[in-house]
Amino acid sequence: MVKYKKIIFIQRVTADYRLPFFDILYKYYSKNDVKFQVYYSKPIDGEKKQISSQVSRPYLRELEIKYFSFKKHYFYYQSIPLNKFTNDALIVHNEASRSLSLYLILIIKFVRNYKLTLYGNNRGQGFLLKSLINFSDGYLAYTQTALINIKKKINIGILNNSHISKSEVLKKTSSIKKLGDPINILLLARIQPNKLLEEFLNIINYLRVTRKLNIAFKIVGAANNEDVNLIKSFLTDVDEYIPSVDFIERKKYFLWTDMILMPGGIGLHVLDAWALKVPLVTYQNNTHGVELEYLEMISSDCISENLEQLKLFSEKFIVNESFRSDIKDKFENNDLNFTVEKMSENFIKWIEKIQFQ
């Protein structure tokens, strides 16, 4: 039986796509007489609201948040419910070196004797973040790579990270291309500098203009006015720019595309690509987080060494049907299990493992 009587998640923001994960945990812990709650706050000005206003869940609680800036960096403090942080509680907090409230949670836990686990992908692996992780009681990483440089002997585990459910896996079916049909290429992301938009469009230009190949592309994601103008300058009648898309609705774009081309910052889209059986390709550069490890597990062939090689890879994918089939096969026929259900299972098993330590 679970020792903890309360499991409390605290995040700066949360999103609709994370709710299926929390739904499973809420249902499981409710059956085991454990109070499960998720606290979150409104995003900072300029950020997209990530959880729909009409969303209602019995475990969701919104916290007040205040932002502070210091030398071009922002910090924040959430009005955390300290009265609920008792010795029978497990606090699960996303890694956040800019969270002033997290430092307070760390200090008070030595008095209240509750347990604190952080989770995330250990991006940057800076001094503050490593210190926070090492002073906590445990760390749940998205990938094995995220455990690098965690020296203190704390409880560690692999959470993995997905927002695709088992019911959505295998829905992608091979479309039958007719002679003359274009190869469909997708860029799916919030259009930020680490997504390398210009590099994507340069590859499109190379394929379409220099190599005279038949392609259509869609770019799905919010962009600033300057980037929107750049995108529109490349559009033809078969292309489309969709300025924003709901997290749940974006699956239809995976079903449309033959290849996801993301020069930078692949993020969790690599797990969606696996689940919906669509090849995702990129190249080695410093815009990627530890999620690149997921792509290496599926197919290292899909990671080019540089931008020029990515151009050539994309060209070969389009013109060589046998090569394209081989790449698709790597996504369609592997035994990796990245689903919301598996992520929930990993969390529950890990909590049961550490509950009496």
pLDDT tens-place string over residues 181-208: 899 999 998 898 999 999 999 999 999 9
* pTM of the predicted structure, to 2 decimals: 0.82
The answer, yes or no, to whether residue 296 has pLDDT greater than 70, is yes
Backbone angles phi, psi at 228, to 5 degrees: -60, -45
The answer, yes or no, to whether residue 151 has pLDDT greater than 80, is no
Structural contact between residues 205 and 261, judged by C-beta atoms closer than 8 angstroms: no
Whole-number pLDDT of residue 356: 59
The answer, yes or no, to whether residue 60 has pLDDT greater than 60, is yes
* DSSP 3-state of 176: coil
Whole-number pLDDT of residue 281: 97
Share of the chain above pLDDT 70, in %: 91
CA atoms of 296 and 291, how far apart (whole Å): 9
Q: What is the mean pLDDT of residues 301-317?
A: 96
Of 3.30.390.30, 3.40.50.2000, 2.70.98.60, 2.102.10.10, the CATH number of 183-332 is: 3.40.50.2000
Whole-number pLDDT of residue 42: 81
Share of the chain above pLDDT 90, in %: 54
Two tokens at 190?
């919030």
Which residues contact residue 65 at a Cβ distance below 8 angstroms, ignoring those fewer than 6 apart? 12, 41, 42, 76, 77, 78, 79
Angle between helix axes 307-319 and 197-205 (nearest 10 degrees) is 50
Q: What is the mean pLDDT of residues 145-174?
A: 76
228-254 pLDDT tens trace: 999 999 999 999 999 876 666 778 898
Whole-number pLDDT of residue 295: 92
The answer, yes or no, to whether residue 46 has pLDDT greater than 70, is no
Two tokens at 317?
């994918």
Where do runs of H (alpha helix) occur along 86-126?
A: 100-112
5-19, 153-167, 217-231: least confidently modelled range: 153-167
Domains 6-162+339-354 and 183-332 share a fold: yes
Listed by start position, the domains of the chain span 6-162+339-354, 183-332
**177 confidence band (pLDDT: 50, 70, 90):** low
Q: What is the mean pLDDT of residues 109-137?
A: 82
The answer, yes or no, to whether residue 39 has pLDDT greater than 70, is yes
CA atoms of 110 and 46, how far apart (whole Å): 37
Whole-number pLDDT of residue 284: 96
SS (H, E, C) 183-196: EEEEEECCCCHHHC
Return the higher-pLDDT residue of 267 and 218. 218
Q: What is the mean pLDDT of residues 68-73?
A: 80
The answer, yes or no, to whether residue 172 has pLDDT greater than 70, is no
CA atoms of 201 and 279, how far apart (whole Å): 19
CA atoms of 122 and 139, how far apart (whole Å): 10
Whole-number pLDDT of residue 291: 84
Whole-number pLDDT of residue 308: 96
**44 confidence band (pLDDT: 50, 70, 90):** confident
Average pLDDT score, the chain: 87
Whole-number pLDDT of residue 268: 81
> Superfamily for 6-162+339-354?
Glycogen Phosphorylase B; (3.40.50.2000)
Whole-number pLDDT of residue 193: 92
Structural contact between residues 287 and 194, judged by C-beta atoms closer than 8 angstroms: yes
Q: What is the mean pLDDT of residues 158-177?
A: 72
Structural contact between residues 38 and 62, judged by C-beta atoms closer than 8 angstroms: no
Which residues contact residue 352 at a Cβ distance below 8 angstroms, ignoring those fewer than 6 apart? 2
Two tokens at 348?
């529950």
